[in-house]
Amino acid sequence: DIQMTQSPSTLSASVGDRVTITCRASQSISTWLAWYQQKPGKAPKLLIYRASTLESEVPSRFSGSGSGTEFTLTISSLQPDDFATYYCQQYDNYLITFGQGTRLEIK
């Protein structure tokens, strides 16, 4: 199975900050990577797919980059609604795996 490792596990930041979350794959997955946002008690929401394509209606302050084994999710200017947990997901093969999550909390 392809292992996905996110860092950091927890990130403390303030409104207006620029933040970056990293996701590393145990082997190359090309750009078959998605990012999700999950708030407590809610289902995850797709933000980005194919590593860098923004899902419709997702604010442009979110961006994704990377290919192969290293990927990043960047939020250019944090808004109050962005404090949540973020997951990466690889879909390079049929054995889909998620990262362990990054909790973004208010400093």
Partner 1 sequence: EVQLVESGGGLVKPGGSLRLSCATSGFTFDSYRMNWVRQAPGKGLEWVSSISSSSIYIYYADSVKGRFTISRDNAKRSLYLQMYSLRAEDTAVYYCARDSTVVAGENCFDPWGQGTLVTVSS
Under the rule (CB under 8 A), what is the footprint of partner 1? 1, 32, 34, 36, 38, 43-46, 49-50, 55, 87, 89, 91, 94-101
* Nearest alpha-carbon partner for 19 in 59, 78, 100: 78
Query: Toward partner 1, which CB reaches closer, 64 or 82?
Result: 64
Place of tokens 């207006």: 16
Query: Toward partner 1, which CB reaches closer, 17 or 55?
Result: 55
92 contacts 2 by C-beta, under 8 angstroms: yes
Query: Toward partner 1, which CB reaches closer, 83 or 91?
Result: 91
